[in-house]
Amino acid sequence: YRVRVEEMRQSLRIIKQAMEQIPPGEIRAKVPHLVRPPVGEAYAHTEAPKGELGFYLVSDNSIAPYRCHIRAPSLMNLTALRDMMIGWKVQDAIIIFGSIDITMGEVDR
């Protein structure tokens, strides 16, 4: 818990430093509101604080994607819980579960 609080403090310092370097004036970029992805499918992944975060997108050249799937790290971590429990006592389950820091909002989609 303390490590995460310190990470938030450091992030706030970085944001303040970045804000001091922003020149005065208009800050909104002129970006189109809708982007039509090309026909096809793509998978991209990145490292997130809790593990790999993946995005799968299928496009048929319409405004909305034909299919969009997000692979959240908490779901993958939760599936490993059964193997983590082998050899431990039942009363250790809460501690083991808490140590992998599952976000149930990611799991229940």
- Say what the pTM is: 0.60
pLDDT tens-digit map of 1-16: 788 899 999 999 999 9
- Beta-carbon count within 10 A of 106 CB: 19
Q: Does 89 have pLDDT greater than 80? A: yes
The residues spanned by each domain of the chain are 26-107
CB–CB of 76/70 below 8 Å? no
Using pLDDT thresholds of 50, 70 and 90, give the confidence band for residue 109. Answer: low
Mean pLDDT for 63-85 is 90
Q: Does 27 have pLDDT greater than 80? A: no
Query: What pLDDT, on the 0 to 100 scale, is given for residue 11?
Result: 96
Q: Does 59 have pLDDT greater than 90? A: yes
Using pLDDT thresholds of 50, 70 and 90, give the confidence band for residue 21. Answer: very high
Task: Write the CB contacts of 83 (distance below 8 Å, at least 6 apart in sequence).
Answer: none
Q: Phi-psi bin for 78: left (phi > 0), alpha (psi -120 to 50), beta?
A: alpha
Q: Does 47 have pLDDT greater than 70? A: yes
Residue type, 48: A
